[in-house]
A and B are shown apart, each in its own frame.
Chain A
Amino acid sequence: LQESESETRLDGETASDSESRSEFGGSSPVPTSDDTPEVLNRALSNLSSRWKNWWVRGILTLAMITFFFIIIYLGPMVLMTIVMCVQIKCFHEIITIGYNVYHSYELPWFRTLSWYFLLCVNYFFYGETVTDYFFTLVQREEPLRILSKYHRFISFALYLTGFCMFVLSLVKKHYRLQFYMFGWTHVTLLIVVTQSHLIIHNLFEGMIWFIVPISCVICNDIMAYMFGFFFGRTPLIKLSPKKTWEGFIGGFFSTVLFGLLLSYVMSGYRCFTCPVEFNNDTNSFTVDCEPSELFQLQEYNIPVVLQSVVGWKTVRMYPFQIHSIALSTFASLIGPFGGFFASGFKRAFKIKDFANTIPGHGGIMDRFDCQYLMATFVNVYIASFIRGPNPSKLIQQFLTLRPDQQLHIFNTLKAHLVDRGILGSLEDA
Chain B
Amino acid sequence: MSARRRRRAAAEQEEEEEEEEEEEAAEAGSDKEVDLEERLHELDLRSDSDIPDVLPPTDSTPEILKRALSGLSARWKNWWIRGILSLAMISGFFLIIYLGSFMLMLLVLSIQVKCYHEIITIGYRVYHSYDLPWFRSLSWYFLLCVNYFFYGETVADYFATFVQRREQLQFLIRYHRFISFALYLTGFCMFVLSLVKKHYRLQFYMFAWTHVTLLITVTQSHLVIQNLFEGMIWFLVPISSVICNDITAYIFGFFFGRTPLIKLSPKKTWEGFIGGFFSTVVFGFIFSYFLAQHQYFVCPVEYNSETNRFVTECEPSELFQMKKYSVPSLLQAVLGWETVNMYPFQMHSFALSTFASLIGPFGGFFASGFKRAFKIKDFADTIPGHGGIMDRFDCQYLMATFVHVYITSFIRGPNPSKLLKQLLILQPEQQLSVYKTLKSHLVEKGILQPSLRG
Q: Which residues of A contact B (CB under 8 A)?
A: 3, 6-7, 9-11, 13-14, 17-18, 21, 25-27, 101-103, 149-150, 152-153, 156, 160, 163-164, 166-168, 170, 172-176, 178-180, 183-184, 186-187, 190, 237-239, 334, 337, 340-341, 344-345, 347-350, 373, 376-377, 380-381, 383-385, 388-389, 391, 394-395, 397-403, 405-410, 412-414, 416-417, 420, 422-423, 427-429
**Complex A-B: 30 CB contacts under 8 Å:** A17-B42, A103-B45, A149-B409, A153-B405, A170-B369, A172-B48, A183-B208, A239-B195, A334-B189, A337-B188, A340-B192, A344-B203, A345-B204, A347-B200, A380-B178, A391-B426, A391-B433, A391-B434, A394-B423, A398-B419, A402-B413, A407-B442, A410-B442, A413-B434, A413-B438, A422-B428, A422-B431, A427-B453, A428-B449, A429-B451
Which residues of the other chain, A, contact B398 by a CB distance below 8 angstroms?
160, 163
Name the prevailing secondary structure of the B interface residues: helix
Task: Check A412/B420 contact, CB under 8 A, given A186-B215, A429-B449.
Answer: yes
Give 3 closest A-B pairs by Cβ, nearest first.
Answer: A428-B451, A175-B373, A348-B200
Tell whether B10 is near chain A: CB-to-CB under 8 Å: yes
**B416:A408 contact, CB within 8 angstroms:** yes
Tell whether A384 pairs with B2 under 8 Å between CB atoms, given A391-B430, A406-B447, A412-B420: no
Residue of B nearest to A182 (CB): B212
Known contacts A6-B47, A14-B1; A190 and B419 CB within 8 A of each other: no
* Interface-located stretch among B70-78, B295-303, B358-366: B358-366
| Cα–Cα, bound, A180→B374 (Å) | 11
Task: Decide if B416 touches A405 in the complex (CB within 8 Å).
Answer: yes
Number of residues of chain B lying within 8 A (CB) of chain A: 91
Q: Is the pair A413, B435 in contact by a Cβ cutoff of 8 Å? A: yes
Is B87 close to A, CB under 8 A? no
CA distance A395 to B428 in the complex (A): 15
Q: Are A167 and B366 in contact (CB under 8 A)?
A: yes
Give the residue of A184, A384, A401, A413 whose beta carbon is less than 8 angstroms from that of B413: A401
Contact with A along B167-203 (1 / 0, CB 8 A): 0000000110110010001001101110101001101
B434 touches A152 (CB 8 A): no
- Contact A10 B47, CB 8 Å, known A190-B215, A398-B419, A405-B416: yes
Structural contact, A156 and B451, CB atoms closer than 8 A:
no
Chain A interface mostly = helix
Interface residue ranges of B370-387 to A (CB < 8 Å):
370, 372-374
| A176 B51 Cβ-Cβ under 8 A | yes
**Shortest distance in angstroms between B37's beta carbon and chain A's nearest beta carbon?**
5
- Contacts known (A7-B9, A186-B212, A239-B192); A417 close to B37, Cβ less than 8 A: no
From 391 to 412 in chain B, residues with beta carbon under 8 angstroms from any chain A beta carbon are 398, 401-402, 405-406, 408-410
With A10-B2, A337-B188, A380-B177 as contacts: A102 and B44 at CB distance below 8 Å: yes
Please tell me if B308 contacts chain A, counting CB pairs below 8 Å: no
Q: Does B282 contact A (CB under 8 A)?
A: no
Residue among B410, B437, B449 with max Cβ neighbours from chain A (10 Å): B437
Which of B10, B369, B426, B441 is close to A388, meaning CB atoms less than 8 Å apart?
B426
Q: Mark B36-80, 1 if CB is under 8 A from A, else 0.
A: 011001101101110100000000000000000000000000000
B178:A381 contact, CB within 8 angstroms: yes
Please give, as numbers and ranges, the residues of chain A lying within 8 Å of B450 by CB-CB distance. Answer: 428
Given A350-B37, A427-B451, list of 9 further CB < 8 A pairs? A25-B34, A175-B372, A337-B189, A406-B442, A408-B416, A410-B438, A410-B448, A413-B423, A428-B448
User: Chain B contacts of A239 at CB under 8 A?
Assistant: 192, 195
Supposing A239-B192, A400-B413 touch, asked if A428 and B453 sit within 8 A by C-beta, the answer is yes
- Interface flag for B165 (CB, 8 Å): no
> A14 and B435: CB pair below 8 A?
no
Q: How far is the CA of A167 from the CA of B212 in the complex (A)?
A: 17
Contact between chains at B362 and A337 (CB < 8 Å) = no
Q: Which of B408, B439, B441, B451 contacts A399 (CB 8 A)?
A: B441
When distances are taken between beta carbons in the complex, the residues of chain B under 8 Å from A173 are 47-49
B422 at the interface (CB under 8 A from A): yes
A172 B263 Cβ-Cβ under 8 A: yes
Bound: A416/B385 CA distance, A:
60
Q: Are A163 and B431 within 8 A (Cβ)?
A: no
Contact flag A384-B409 (CB < 8 Å), given A337-B188, A409-B420? no
Question: Which A residues touch B2, using CB under 8 A?
Answer: 10-11, 14
Q: Tell me if B416 and A409 are in contact (CB < 8 A).
A: yes
- Complex-state Cα separation, A178 to B374, whole angstroms: 11
Taking Cβ atoms with an 8 Å cutoff, the residues of B that contact A are 1-2, 5-6, 9-10, 28, 34, 37-38, 41-42, 44-45, 47-49, 51, 174-175, 177-178, 181, 185, 188-189, 191-193, 195, 197, 200-201, 203-204, 208-209, 211-212, 215, 262-264, 359, 362, 365-366, 369-370, 372-374, 398, 401-402, 405-406, 408-410, 413-414, 416, 419-420, 422-428, 430-435, 437-439, 441-442, 445, 447-453
Q: Given that A239-B192, A380-B177, A384-B177 are contacting pairs, would A26 and B41 also be in contact in the complex, using a CB cutoff of 8 Å? A: yes
**Chain B residue, CB-CB nearest to A155:** B405
Distance of B407 from chain A, by nearest CB (Å): 10
The CA-CA distance from A48 to B402 in the complex, in Å, is 62
- Given the interface pairs A190-B211, A406-B442, the reply to whether A389 lies near B362 with Cβ below 8 Å is no
> B431 contacts which of A150, A167, A380, A417 (Cβ < 8 Å)?
A417
Cβ-defined contact, A403 with B423, below 8 A: no
How far apart are the CA atoms of A228 and B23 in the complex, in Å? 45
Cα-based distance from A345 to B202 in the complex (angstroms): 11
Contact B420 A167 (CB under 8 A): no
> How far apart are B9's CB and chain A's nearest CB, in angstroms?
6
On whether the beta carbons of A174 and B48 are closer than 8 Å, the reply is yes
Tell me, in angstroms, the Cα distance from A191 to B175 when the chains sit together.
23
Among B175, B263, B369, B434, the residue within 8 A (CB) of A395 is: B434
CB-CB < 8 A to B445: which residues of A?
403
Given contacts A403-B447, A413-B435, A427-B451, contact A184 B208 (CB under 8 A): yes
Task: Please indicate the chain B residues that have their CB under 8 angstroms from the CB of A174 in the complex.
Answer: 48
Would you call B201 and A348 a contact (CB within 8 A)? Answer: yes
A236–B217 Cα distance when bound, in Å, is: 37
CA distance A372 to B369 in the complex (A): 33
Chain B residue numbers with a CB within 8 Å of A176 are 48, 51, 373-374
Q: Are B414 and A417 in contact (CB under 8 A)?
A: no
Question: In the assembled complex, which residues on chain B have CB atoms less than 8 Å from the CB atom of A384?
Answer: 174-175, 177-178
The interface residues of chain B lying within 8 Å CB-to-CB of A376 are: 181
Contact B373 A178 (CB under 8 A): yes
Nearest chain B residue, comparing its CB with the CB of A166: B366
Q: Are B373 and A344 in contact (CB under 8 A)?
A: no
* CB-defined contacts of B431 to chain A, threshold 8 Å: 413, 416-417, 422
Interchain CB contact under 8 A, B374 and A423: no
Expressed in whole angstroms, the minimum distance between the Cβ of B258 and any Cβ of chain A is 21
Cβ of B27 to closest chain A Cβ, rounded Å: 13
Query: In the docked arrangement, what's the CA distance between A25 and B198, Å?
Result: 13
Q: Within 8 Å CB of A402, what residues of B?
A: 413
Q: Are B203 and A348 in contact (CB under 8 A)?
A: yes
Cα distance, A168 to B441, chains bound together (Å)? 50
- For B45, give its contact among A13, A25, A409 (CB under 8 Å): A13
Q: Is the CB of A101 within 8 A of B264?
A: no
